[in-house]
Structure formats: structure tokens, C-alpha cells
Structure 1
Amino acid sequence: MQEIWLKIENWLRDNAPKCLDVLTSGASDTQISELEEYLSIQLPEDVKASYRLHNGQIAYEYGLFNGCEFLSLERIKNEWQIWKDLLDSGTFQAADGQDQGCEPDLGVANVWWSAKWIPLTYDGSGNHDCLDLAPAKGGKVGQIISMWHDDPERKIIAPSFRDWLQSYAEGLESGKFVFSDEYNGIVNVDDVAFT
């Protein structure tokens, strides 16, 4: 994890120091355990190792991950609780009382939202990259999925947190991502309108 974060930090230092400034120092093992207890989950070791180095962003001043906030442990709790309250209220139930389901990739549960989908990023509109701790058959515990608040599509975007973070670091180094003042953060170069 340390090598991956070093690549990200070096790129931020050279290309987006504003984003480096909002990245926090690491969380303690106690803070990580408190999150696990609150969510009734056990985080994969690669996630814990990453959060020991950087506990998300101080604030959503700049989008660190493709325009999105990299959630701190406290912000994970907040965003997760919003979805949990919606789940408990029956918001995702169809007329027959069953979950309305979604349009999942193979390996992702066919539910609108699961309490075992742990938000890692936030785009300001209710959408997340989530750590999936309850995959369907063909999936892998700890895979990263995209979760949209108003779209049923659920895509696997990485087989693990380590792969997700490594892919992002490589994307930064290869020029796939750039800092954009227009989008107030780091975004895919294809999304930036060049005029």
C-alpha cells in the first residue's frame, strides 16, 4: 500500500498540490475497529493498510478520485447511514415487498443497495465507488463496484481495493487522469473539454 500511495502522492505534489493538501494523515487501528463495529463488518487488510496511511480527505474541496471525494472513516459512516436509513424505510422495496433489484454485473448482488456495500468515494450527488463485502456467485469479497443512486446499473470496477488503488495510481502516471480547475479536481482526461 505504501508504494501505491507514494506514487499517488508524488503525482499530486507535481500536478495537483491542492489535492495533496486535503489528503489526511492515517487513521488509528482504534478508529478502524470503531468503523468495523459500527458497520458490523470486517474490512479487508488492504483497505485497513490504506486507511492507516491516509484517512480520506479533510473535506470535499477537490475531487481526488475521478472527481469524487475520497471518504474518511467518519464520512464512510455518514454516507453508509444515509443508505441504511433508506433501506430500513422500505425505499428500495417493490410492490410485492421484495427488493426492487438492480442491473448488476455477474458477481454483484441483485439488490438496489446492500448494507455490505461500503462507500469509499462520493460525487456530491449520492453516487459511490463501494467496497462489496457481500458479492453474488461469481464475485469476490472485497471487489469494488460502482453504485448510482438513480441508475440500476452496478458494475465491478476492480477485483479488490488494492487493484482499484493501483489502477488509479497507474492512471495518474500514464496521463489518464488530469487535474481540472473546471471540474475542481482530478478527472478522466476524456471528460475534460478542451477548447
Structure 2
Amino acid sequence: MKQDWKRLEAWLLANEAKTLADLNPPATATEIQEAERKLGYGLPSGYLECLNVHAGQQGKAKWLFDGNEFLSVRNVLLSWAAWNDLAEGGDLDGLEAKPSEGIQPVWWSRSWIPFASNGGGDFLCLDMAPAPSGRLGQVIEIFHDVPNRKLVAPDFDSWFKKFVDGKVG
């Protein structure tokens, strides 16, 4: 993870310095412990390694992940809570999801941890309770207004490496 971040940071310095400057410092142990307590899940090791380099973006520059903002720990929790509020309030009742294999057939699950957002209500999430054929910590894409629930990567590590390789070359 650290090597991928070094490669990405070097590329950002040369090509998107404002985005590099927009990255937050590493998450503190307290921030991570509090997030895991609120979420009810231990975060996957690759994502934790990522947070130990940069804990999201400030949101004042171009979004890091190809049209998706790298969410700060605070914004992860706010986004997760907002989805839970919608579900608990009945706003998602009757909505039928169309998931990729390995993803629960629900519109929203408390076990999905958003880590990137397009700002329009759509998220990349860590799936902490996949369907039986899925993998713990897999990266999924969810949409607020479309039933598709798409499997993007088997885990955060491979997702991040593929992102960096695609960006840096």
C-alpha cells in the first residue's frame, strides 16, 4: 500500500498538485477506533493501511478517485449514517436491488462502508457482510437511484492497486 501511495503521490505532484495538497494527513488511532466502534466492524487491513497514509480528502480540489471523492473518516461516518437513517425511516422500503453475484440483494446494508462518493449519492463501499459467494471486504458500487449493486474488486488492496496502475501507468 505504501509503495502504491508513493507512486501516486509522485504522479499527483507532477500532474495534479492541488489534489495532492487536498489529501488529509493519516488518521489517528483514536479516529480509527471511534469509526470502528460506530460502524460495528473492524476495517479491512488494506483500507486501514490506506488511512494510515492519507485519511481522505478535504474536498477542496479535484476528486482523487476518477470522479469520486476519497472520503475523510468523518464523511465516511456521515454518509453511512445518512443511508442508515433512510433505511430505518422506511425510505428504502420496497426498492429492489439488482446485485452482482456475491452482494446481498438489498438496496442498502449497514454492513456497507462508503469510502468514496461522486457527490450525487452514489458510493464505492467496503462490503463487510457479503452474500455467501462474496468476499469479506470486497469493493462494491452502489447507486442511490439505480438498483444495480456492482462488484468492483475482491478487496480494497487490489482495487487501490488497479486504480494507481491505471492513473500512473
TM over 0.5: yes
Distance 1:166 1:138, change over 3 A: same
Q: Deviations over 1:91-110 (max 9, x none)?
A: 1112xxxxx33000000000
What is the 5 A alignment of 1:39-118? 39-94=39-94, 100-118=95-113
Is the Cα contact below 8 Å between 1:117 and 1:132 reproduced in 2? yes
Partner of 2:128: 133
Alpha-carbon distance in 1 for matches of 2:60, 2:141: 19
Q: Percent of aligned positions with the same letter in both sequences? A: 37
Partner secondary structure for residue 81 of structure 1? helix
What is the 5 A alignment of 1:120-159? 120-159=115-154
Question: What amino acid is the match of 1:160?
Answer: D
Q: Deviations over 1:43-92 (max 9, x none)?
A: 11111111011000012532110111100100101111110100100111
Query: How far does residue 168 in structure 1 lie from its aligned partner after superposition?
Result: 0.5
Question: What amino acid is the match of 2:49?
Answer: A
The number of residue pairs the alignment matches comes to: 169
Partner of 2:158: 163
Alpha-carbon distance in 2 for matches of 1:130, 1:140: 13
What's the TM-score once normalised by structure 1's chain length?
0.84
What's the TM-score once normalised by structure 2's chain length?
0.97
Larger Rg: 1
Alpha-carbon distance in 2 for matches of 1:130, 1:101: 18
Question: What amino acid is the match of 1:157?
Answer: V
Segments ≥4 residues shifted beyond 2 Å: none
What is the 5 A alignment of 1:177-188? none
Partner of 2:114: 119
Query: How far does residue 26 in structure 1 lie from its aligned partner after superposition?
Result: 0.2
Partner secondary structure for residue 59 of structure 1? coil
Distance 1:87 1:60, change over 3 A: farther
Partner secondary structure for residue 138 of structure 1? coil
Partner secondary structure for residue 46 of structure 1? helix
Alpha-carbon distance in 2 for matches of 1:83, 1:152: 15
Partner of 1:5: 5
Alpha-carbon distance in 2 for matches of 1:147, 1:27: 25
Alpha-carbon distance in 2 for matches of 1:53, 1:160: 18
Matched, 1:36 2:31: no
Alpha-carbon distance in 2 for matches of 1:159, 1:121: 16
